[in-house]
Each structure stands twice: as C-alpha cells, then as structure tokens.
Amino acid sequence: FDVSEQPPATAAAADDARLIETWAGRSASAGTRRKYRAIGARFLAYLGRPLATATLADLQAFIATMETKAPATRANAAAALKSLFSFGQETGALVVNVGKALKSPPVKNTLAERILAEADVMTMIALERDPRNRAFLTLLYGAGLRISEGIGLRWRDLAPREAVGQVTVYGKGGKTRIVLVSANTWKLLRALQDVPEPDAFVFQAQPTGRGLSPSQAHRIVKRAAARAGLSAEVSAHWLRHAHASHALERGSPIHLVQATLGHADISTTGRYLHARPSESSARFLGV
C-alpha cells in the first residue's frame, strides 16, 4: 500500500529507513555501506521514534551505550551519526542537524604500534614459499595497496613499463590511480601466469579460478606474520602502513606517497611522519 496511506508513525519510520538507505548508498565501498546501514538501523531502534525528533542528548546517550566497545568503534559510530544527520539536513529530510554538536570520543593514535620494521616485512616475504602468496605480500607492501584493491586486480589492470610494470588500482571512494611497481615485484606478478586472460583475477583462489576472498587474503598475511614470529595482530593494512613509513624514511616526497596510496588529503599521509619522526629535541639533551 502507498506510504501516504500509512499511519503517521509508520510513514515516518518508512521515511527514516529510506533516508538511511540513501545515505548509506552514497558510498562506493560495500563495507562502508554495510557499516552505515547497521549503525543507522541500530540508532533508529534505540531511538524508538522518528529521526526528526532526535536530540543531542539522544545521540550522546546512544554513544554511551557503546562504552564497552573500543574507542575507535565509538568514534566511528559518532562520525557516522554526524554524517547521517548532516545528510538529512542537506537533503531537506531533517530540519535540524543535531549531529553537528556531537563530539566524537577521543581516540589514542596507535599508528606507530602498527608500523612494521623493514626487516620484519622482508622476513614475512622471504619465508613465504607459495608463488601466489609471495607475489601478493610483495605487492601489498611494494605498492601500498589496500587488501580489497589487491584481491580485485585483474590481468587487464597490469601493464609493462620497460623494466618495471604499472598497476591500475580501483580504490576507495571509486577512485582510480596508477601505481608503478619495482622490477622485482613485476617479475613475481608475471610469473603467476604465462599467457594471462585479461579478465582473470591476478590472485586466484584455486581451483575455482575466482579471486581470493577477503578472509583468504587475510589468512595469507596472518600466516606469513606467524612464520616470521610477529604479532597475531598484524594485518594486510600493516603492510600498507609500512610502505608509507618506509618510503618516507628513505626520502620519498610526501606528495608521491600520497598519490601512490590514494590519500585524498595530504594530512593523512603526514600522520606517518609524526608516527615515526626522524628527529626529536630529546636527542639534544644530556640525559
């Protein structure tokens, strides 16, 4: 039946559900869409009434229900709600943006704890005997790719560039970037298939021929870290962090690292300079 024929409360609930779906649907990332839908639905269930009636106190109380969660989880939820209410006001669905006054919980910057030493990365790669897995680890680190970018690569995305190669990466937010890879990385990639089919996945899940799933890709990284005697917390994203940090330490211009990693804002890339500073005033003291 038509929404206009529903009782006011039911019609408002339908409008709110549509608003949340439209808001979440704007993201090019399937993971972000799922996350936004979940947070939106959870807040709507907690509120128990139309979004238009929500107050700042309601948002604060909702975040407070998550006090047993990690600070980053609470901060992400707060950021999502701020985005939802901002979108609601921009589209005219909500008159007031109560999320504007919501303060995100402070989050400790733990980036420095998630940057592997160069020797540890090299050990992870050296101890990997499977050619596919070794090429995958090398590419994640050497090109600074996100795990979704790595497993989504098809052979048509790779092209030779004299002694090296280039990779066309479909990244976060639906943005495409071109990343050059070293001669060694290119050799490992080309060795995976002599005459590759253009639409075939570079990193295939044998024997299906389909691309690696996120869980399979994460297991490759976890097992490589375990063989190298590293923390169980090591993930694929740690290799991306390592790429940025090690490139900057070796003198790469920050704007080049920004372009390679696909950061929209150079301040995001700048975090790696602060996480692993090369100088400190403490070194000038006599203690």
Task: Using alpha carbons, list the distances in angstroms from residue 65 to 38, 69, 221.
Answer: 15, 9, 34
Task: Indicate which residue of 223, 237, 271, 276 is catalytic.
Answer: 237
Q: Tell me the residue type at 181.
A: V
Cβ-based burial of 112 (10 A; exposed 0-12, middle 13-18, buried ≥19): middle
Give first-to-last CA distance, the chain, whole Å: 77
Task: Indicate which residue of 74, 134, 240, 246 is catalytic.
Answer: 240
Told to judge if 272 belongs to the known catalytic residues of this protein, a careful annotator would answer yes
Told to judge if 146 belongs to the known catalytic residues of this protein, a careful annotator would answer yes
**Rounded-to-integer distance, Cα 15 and Cα 3, Å:** 9
Told to judge if 218 belongs to the known catalytic residues of this protein, a careful annotator would answer no
**Rounded-to-integer distance, Cα 23 and Cα 108, Å:** 28
Task: Indicate which residue of 134, 146, 241, 246 is catalytic.
Answer: 146
User: Helices (H), strands (E): how many in the chain?
Assistant: 12, 5
Task: Indicate which residue of 82, 132, 172, 241 is catalytic.
Answer: 172
Site of tokens 């570079």: 202
- The residues pairing with 168 across neighbouring beta strands, listed in sequence order, are 178
Query: Do the Cβ atoms of 125 and 141 come closer than 8 Å?
Result: yes
The residues annotated as belonging to the active site are 146, 172, 237, 240, 263, 272
